[in-house]
Amino acid sequence: MAGKTETVLAVLAGAAIGAAVGILFAPDEGSKTRKKIKDGYDHKKDEIKDKLHELSEQVKSKFGYSKADIESGLDHLVSTVEQKKEDIIATLEKKLEELKGTAKAAAGK
């Protein structure tokens, strides 16, 4: 995703620089050139805003799915831990009863 973003930004920056250089070397008056530069800048600024908005939406949607997956995974993990905890407690209670029985038998001898 980062490579795609860098490529898009590089292309947009290259286009903006190319347009600015082309306008600067055009045989127009200074006021016309400045107006062309301003118009070109405004147009490129809007294009970049749109691309950044599009990329941010893509990132949000990608991480939105990942967040849901993480939450689901955590819920499953908590559920599994709860089940294991109950199994461990039951096993420990059984062992405790066995030890109590062994202790009573040893005390009675």
Where do the domains of the chain lie?
Answer: 2-108
Residue 19: Cβ-neighbour burial (10 angstroms; 0-12, 13-18, 19+)? middle
Q: At residue 14, does pLDDT exceed 70? A: yes
Q: Is the pTM of this model over 0.75?
A: no
> For the segment 81-108, what is each residue's pLDDT rounded down to a tens digit?
888 888 888 888 888 888 888 888 888 7
